[in-house]
Structure 1
Amino acid sequence: MISQRTTLLSALLLTFTFAATAAPLTKDEYKAAKEEISVKYKAAKKACSAHTSNAKDICIEEAKGDEKVARAELQAKYEPSAKHTNEILVVKAKAAHEVAKEKCDDQTGNAKDVCKKEANAAYTAAMAEAKLKEKTSENDKKAAEKITDAKSTAMDKNASAQKSANTDVRDANYKTAIEKCDAFAGDVKNNCIADAKQRFGK
């Protein structure tokens, strides 16, 4: 059962990565895929009629689980988000748990009790992994927002510093221009000063 748990967690991680990077579906693609899932579910459930007793129950649970997982994956592709991606992990964990519990009914006594405990342990581990992924995603998002805010603040401060520096340079150049005007007299000096004021926005 430990190997099954490891396999389940690995599958969930792969699902999380794939769903996070897959391109969104169009509305028509979404509708078509949704219909296909329904058709496959009905066919799978109908096929369970070939089984009897607990084998039939297991078959039905597997069909239900496959449908729920497929719908969760489809929703994540149609509306990509951390929430929908995480929902895939949750749905997979629940579906696997239901099937595992049903399989335990093939056993009796202590073996059945152990089987259920192992199924519950695998479910707990899978749900913990899903919760971890959700929290990690939230933390990454918050960190990204802080980085964005920090960059924005830095850009504002840099712009302010640049503006201040430009003002200092302009004022210094203006004073230099005015000083040069002192070499003249009368209208020439006045024109020189007027020109300096116009050039430096004074």
Structure 2
Amino acid sequence: MFGFSVNAIAAELDAAEPDAATIFKNEKIKAEADYKIAAAKCKTLADNPKDICQAEATAVRVHLEENAYANFHNTISARATAIKKIAEADYEVDEAKCKSMVGNDKDVCIKKAKSVKVAAMATAKADKKVLDARKDEAADKLNAEYKVALEKCDGLAGNAKDACVANAKKKYGK
């Protein structure tokens, strides 16, 4: 009626969208390009402002790369790793900023920077533990439901029991 098929349009849309690996690669390339631009601006600076600029340029790259990595791998471990690396990069920026200070102000600045880093690391670790616990909980629930299904099969005999057990195994991935 319209001269086109829904399947052909869907195939074209799928082909138009880049896959996850391509997106990841492009985001890494963008991160490196952004870093080079930011680092080039640092060349005109000297001393502590230059150190701060370089740390900020690196932090921008780390943020982009690690978020891309976490999105690409989409795992608890990848996200925790990204959070930790980002926290380390942010700490380097804060530490560079603290170096321009003197006396107690410098000491307080460094302690605060360390505190922020430790908090981010602790949050990443806690998030990973919570997600791991939820994963274990889901597995335990699945196993319990599987045992209930098998128990129901025990009331059957012959082919009906075999079919029931086979269905339970299929349903619960056993």
TM-score range, shorter chain: 0.7 to 0.9
The structural deviation recorded for 1:72 is 1.2
The structural deviation recorded for 1:129 is 1.0
Summarize the Cα distance change of 1:66–1:57 in structure 2 as closer, same or farther, 3 Å threshold.
Answer: same
Summarize the Cα distance change of 1:25–1:73 in structure 2 as closer, same or farther, 3 Å threshold.
Answer: farther
Q: Which amino acid aligns with 1:112?
A: K
Question: 1:45 corresponds to which residue?
Answer: 39
Question: 1:3 corresponds to which residue?
Answer: none
RMSD: 2.0
Native 8 Å contact 1:65 1:95 kept in 2: yes
Q: Does 1:36 align with 2:36?
A: no
The structural deviation recorded for 1:70 is 1.3
The structural deviation recorded for 1:126 is 1.4
Q: Which runs of 4+ in 1 moved over 6 A?
A: none
Mapping for residues 69-88 of structure 1, pairs under 5 Å: 69-88=63-82
Q: Does 1:104 align with 2:98?
A: yes
Stretches of structure 1 that go unaligned for 5 or more consecutive residues are 1-23, 168-202
The structural deviation recorded for 1:124 is 1.3
Question: 1:132 corresponds to which residue?
Answer: 126
Higher relative contact order (CA 8 A, sep 6+): 1
Q: Which amino acid aligns with 2:75?
A: S
Q: Which amino acid aligns with 2:60?
A: D
TM norm structure 2: 0.75
Q: How far apart, in 1, do the equivalents of 2:118 and 2:91 lie?
A: 9
Identity of aligned residues (%): 28
Q: How far apart, in 1, do the equivalents of 2:141 and 2:78 lie?
A: 25
Stretches of structure 2 that go unaligned for 5 or more consecutive residues are 1-17, 161-174
Q: How far apart, in 2, do the equivalents of 1:63 and 1:120 lie?
A: 20
Q: Which amino acid aligns with 1:147?
A: K
Native 8 Å contact 2:31 2:60 kept in 1: no
The SS at the match of 1:50 is coil
Question: 2:14 corresponds to which residue?
Answer: none
1:54-105 alpha-carbon deviations (Å, 9 max, x no partner) = 1111111111112122111111222211111111211121111111111101
From the CA coordinates, give the structure whose radius of gyration is larger. Answer: 1
1:124-183 alpha-carbon deviations (Å, 9 max, x no partner) = 11111111111111111111111111111111112223x16xx9xxxxxxxxxxxxxxxx
